[in-house]
Amino acid sequence: MVEYMVGVDGGGTGTRARVERPDGTQSGRGSAGPSGLAFGVGNAWVAVLNAVNQAFVDAGVARPALVRIAVGLGLAGVHNRQWAVEFAEKNPGFGEIEVETDAFCTLLGAHQGKSGAIIAIGTGSVGEALLADGTRREVGGWGFPSGDEASGAWLGLRAVNHIQRVLDGRRPSSDFARSVIALCGGDRNGLFAWLATANQTTYAQLAPVVIKYAASDEVARGMMIEAGNEIAEVAAALDPSGRLPIALCGGLAAPMRDYLPEQLRARAVNPHADAAAGALQLIRRSIGYRTKIS
């Protein structure tokens, strides 16, 4: 018997969980480190369990046995079917699980399960649309470093390429460049050491510096404008008709709005809820369907 339902949004920077009773009472929230499957299935489950445990603490109730919990999970990396299958097979004991992409859970939360489109911009980026006939369309989400345009990692990669040129003398220095250099080892040798261990999350940690200096530095501003144009390209591919409501979601959605082309900025809407709420909706749908046919 399911006593609690949990929705989990897991990405390359962190994991967020929402827990509630089937009737929506006794809700709580928790967070933990990254649970994107690129970090390893074992690490993902550790982060998920930590976030779930924290959510029960926040709700003020003792966590029951996992078998009495149904969990919906929207995770980065689910596109890799091998990773997704391995993750589901290593379920530590939850009574019910449903695993989907983080983009689809973001979409469910943003438009309350109705038709619409989202572009999620955080450590990575992806666009997804749910059409009126129930079909889905996805754009991007190819992963770092080959894809994830306009994401935090994408911005960080460009910032690092810029400071490499500055350190070489190919471009002039600036307060922006010096701030990035300071975070990446402080000098040429330090940058080589930083590069040797940098991953998607590490690059994304530089995005706030780009955003901070975009108002005063031409290079940083150019990166943000380029990101805005990339987002517009994703939006056009998701919904060529331009009729669907489109929500910008994720940690970088707010700072990106000012750099969107005017036409897209005018039609963008605020999401109704987050991806963790969408993951709750995912597991509710799953259990409801199975209950009807059993």
**Residues sharing a CB contact under 8 Å with residue 212, sequence separation 6 or more, in sequence order:** 179, 220
Closest C-alpha among 135, 137, 141 to residue 154? 141
Which residue intervals of the chain are DSSP H helices? Answer: 41-59, 81-89, 102-110, 152-168, 175-183, 188-197, 200-204, 207-213, 218-238, 253-257, 262-267, 275-293
Q: Concatenate the DSSP letters of all residues of 143-171 into one string.
A: -TTTS-TTSHHHHHHHHHHHHHHHHHTSS
pLDDT per residue, tens digit, the chain (294 aa), is 889 999 999 987 789 999 998 888 878 999 999 998 988 999 999 999 999 999 999 999 999 999 999 999 999 888 888 999 999 999 999 999 999 988 899 999 999 888 899 999 988 899 999 988 888 899 998 888 999 999 999 999 999 999 999 999 999 999 999 999 999 999 999 999 999 999 988 999 999 999 999 999 999 999 999 999 999 999 999 999 888 999 998 889 999 999 999 989 988 888 998 889 999 999 988 877 343 332
Query: In order of start, what are the domains of the chain with their CATH numbers?
Result: 4-112+273-293 (3.30.420.40), 119-270 (3.30.420.40)
